[in-house]
């Protein structure tokens, strides 16, 4: 479901797959080749939300910010994750049920582990892994960068597959 609020209407590239059971509202921009899956919520009712190209917002994830929020290209926001921060860089994987709190910023080529919590105002440098509650930052091993890319690519393909079958 795509909705306007207070004159702000989502701007969604024609190649984007948005599930009929997802909810996208307000000042939201979604780039080419991205996808928003069943039960996901993307709210631009308080602050603007910009989602880059080839990014996937998976089932039951929530993307919302009180201010401006930018999610980069080829990002995977996996099942049940909550994104309430200010920035997620390119090539990031946010694990299942992870939480990114107010005004946190995630650098490029990062993995936020499943169930991890990134505290408010935290800065996660590029090429990092975050695990635990609260999140502990560690260096990212090179082989994991390929996993981030593979997940994003798989969801780009899957979004096209669903669009081609008329399953939006």
CA angle 132-78-96, nearest 5°?
35
Lowest mean pLDDT among 4-8, 81-85, 99-103, 160-164: 160-164
Q: How confident is the model at residue 142 (pLDDT cuts 50, 70, 90)?
A: confident
148 φ, ψ to 5°? -60, -50
41-64 as b/e: b if 16+ CB within 10 A: bbbbbeeebbbbbbbbbbbbbbbb
Helix (H) or strand (E) holding 51: strand 41-51
CATH code of the domain made up of 2-164: 2.160.10.10
pLDDT digits (tens, 9 = 90+) for 41-56: 999 999 999 999 999 9
Confirm if 41 and 57 have CB atoms less than 8 A apart: no
Backbone angles phi, psi at 108, to 5 degrees: -75, 160
* End-to-end Cα, the chain, rounded Å: 10
């Amino acid at each position: 479901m795509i909705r306007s609020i207070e004159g702000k209407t989502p701007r969604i590239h024609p190649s984007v797959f948005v599930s009929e059971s997802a909810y996208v509202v307000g000042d939201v921009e979604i780039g080419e080749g991205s996808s928003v899956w069943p039960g996901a919520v993307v709210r631009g009712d308080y602050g603007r939300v910009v989602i880059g190209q080839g990014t996937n917002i998976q089932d039951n994830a929530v993307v919302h910010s009180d201010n401006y929020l930018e999610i980069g290209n080829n990002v995977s926001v996996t099942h049940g994750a909550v994104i309430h921060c200010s920035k997620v860089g390119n090539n990031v994987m946010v694990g299942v049920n992870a939480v990114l709190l107010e005004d946190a910023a995630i650098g490029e080529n990062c993995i936020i582990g499943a169930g991890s919590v990134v505290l408010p105002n935290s800065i996660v440098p590029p090429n990092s892994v975050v695990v635990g509650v609260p999140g502990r930052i560690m260096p990212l091993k090179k082989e994991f960068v390929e996993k981030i890319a593979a997940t994003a690519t798989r969801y780009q393909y899957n979004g096209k597959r669903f669009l081609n079958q008329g399953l939006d």
